[in-house]
Amino acid sequence: MWNDIEPRFNQSVAIKARKGHIYSPPATSDRVIVFLNTQNRVNGNVRWSVNNVSFNIPHTPYLIALKENLLHTFSQTPPPEGYDFKNYDIFARQNNTNATTSDAIYRLQLNSTVDIILQNANTMNPNNSETHPWHLHGHDFWVLGYGKGKFDPINDPKNYNLVDPIMKNTVPVHPLGWTALRFKADNPGAWAFHCHIESHFFMGMGVVFEEGIERVGKLPSSIMGCGETKHLLKP
């Protein structure tokens, strides 16, 4: 059986910014969010989840809902920014039958610096963990580091690459490993961050960030029509 996990991991670690094209990241971040990637069952169906929450896409687009104050169209309960780090065993097969679904979003302070830790884990199948390519809309991010096993929030940040990290908008989190990212929340709007395997995204492996929505200009009526925006549609 072909197993290329190790060479793919080593390739990821080896990629740095090209000399002459280095854009240094901020030395520190204002906020750290940890996303545990798991496979779950919700109502008997296999789903993917982030911090035990499987993402549902609402009928009303977030950008319009936020600008037009249609806040009842999606959950206002803040989604979790971490998981049970002490007790969750990423190496063990989990039943994960207690996942929930939500369409809540992460609200970011405009122009703040945010660290994202993508933590991979075993699926519901024994000795199985998958690669997930995560893609961020509306931004590029610095890839600060990769690691094997469970991310250590005390020691692993000491080894972040703050000298010549590459900037990307899509990055893998390898099986039973972690990936650390840093980005500036400097683009007003509502932006998806999700696994770029489409089936995984539609099965719940994704989140949405909102930042500086008050800086977004008036939206054209021509984009209305979905969900509860029908009454805003003008010919």
pLDDT tens for the chain, 235 residues long, are: 567 899 999 999 999 999 988 899 999 999 999 999 999 989 889 999 999 999 999 999 999 999 999 999 999 999 999 999 999 999 998 876 678 999 999 999 999 999 999 999 999 999 999 999 999 999 999 999 999 999 999 999 999 999 999 999 999 999 999 999 999 999 999 999 999 999 999 999 999 999 999 999 999 988 998 999 988 877 6
Q: What is the pLDDT of residue 98?
A: 76
pLDDT of residue 99: 86
**pLDDT number for residue 130:** 95
Taking CA atoms, 191 is separated from 62, 66, 114, 186, 210, in Å, by: 9, 12, 14, 11, 6
Structural domains in the chain, sorted by start: 5-15+25-232 (2.60.40.420)
- Tell me the two tokens of residue 208: 């949405």
How far is residue 48's CA from residue 200's CA, in Å, rounded to a whole number?
A: 6
pLDDT of residue 95: 74
Q: What is the pTM of this model?
A: 0.95
Q: Report whether 166 contacts 183 (CB < 8 A).
A: no
